[in-house]
Amino acid sequence: MSVERLLERLEKVRQERRGQWVACCPAHLDKSPSLAIGQADDGRILVHCHGGCSALDVISSVGLEWGDLFPETDKVYKSLMTHIRTRPKSLELEDRVVSLADEDRRNGKKLSREDKARLKQALARGARSDNFPDRLRWEMELGLADQQLREVEQRLKTGND
């Protein structure tokens, strides 16, 4: 998507410098521009609301989706999303075991010996917590640099999240 497609859906748009704009944030009542918009050299569109709205809230409020912020040719992001979509169904139960153990730990509950053994078995089979795709999307929302994304992609390939 071109940055113009986003800009035409915003109010009080003004260009600050080449590749950078400000506008009123459509995700909250904004009287003066608090939304920063930028276009990276690789074509990615970056959005940041200084009022605290998430990038997803901003783009959703103008009828756009995550994919609209990335160029069609951005293979790094495509491969990350493909990995999320192609997670084997056979690991769903194992992933759930890890998620439940994570939830128990967060709530201060101790795992029984049997639960620890089951968790170890699930991890050995390649299981991950159910929130893994959400965490990856969150990392992408933060606008990690390309090198960091390559590191995330490498961890995905090796199964070390």
H, E, C per residue of the chain: CCHHHHHCCCEEEEEEECCEEEEECCCCCCCCCCEEEEECCCCCEEEEECCCCCHHHHHHHCCCCHHHHCCCCCHHHHHHHHHHHCCCHHHHHHHHHHHHHHHHHHCCCCCCHHHHHHHHHHHHCCCCCCCHHHHHHHHHHCCCCHHHHHHHHHHHHHCCC
Quick one: pLDDT band at residue 145, thresholds 50, 70, 90?
A: very low
Residues 83 and 54 in one domain: no
- pLDDT of 141 > 80? The answer is no
| Whether 95 contacts 118, CB under 8 Å | no
Residues 55 and 25 in one domain: yes
- pLDDT of 30 > 50? The answer is yes
Residues 80 and 141 in one domain: yes
Residues 96 and 114 in one domain: yes
Closest CA to 67 of 140, 4, 12, 17: 140
Q: Which domain holds residue 48?
A: 3-69
Quick one: pLDDT band at residue 40, thresholds 50, 70, 90?
A: confident
Domain boundary among 69, 99, 116: 69
- pLDDT of 60 > 50? The answer is yes
Residues 115 and 148 in one domain: yes
Domain boundary among 36, 51, 69: 69
Residues 81 and 134 in one domain: yes
| Whether 58 contacts 30, CB under 8 Å | no
- pLDDT of 15 > 90? The answer is yes
**For 116-128, what is each residue's pLDDT tens digit?**
888 888 888 877 7
Residues 105 and 55 in one domain: no
Residues 51 and 84 in one domain: no
Domain boundary among 13, 41, 69: 69
- pLDDT of 34 > 90? The answer is yes
Quick one: pLDDT band at residue 37, thresholds 50, 70, 90?
A: very high
| pLDDT at 86 (0 to 100) | 59
Number of structural domains found in the chain:
2
Quick one: pLDDT band at residue 74, thresholds 50, 70, 90?
A: very low
Quick one: pLDDT band at residue 150, thresholds 50, 70, 90?
A: low
Residues 129 and 150 in one domain: yes
Residues 20 and 88 in one domain: no
- Is the pTM higher than 0.75? The answer reads no
Residues 29 and 84 in one domain: no
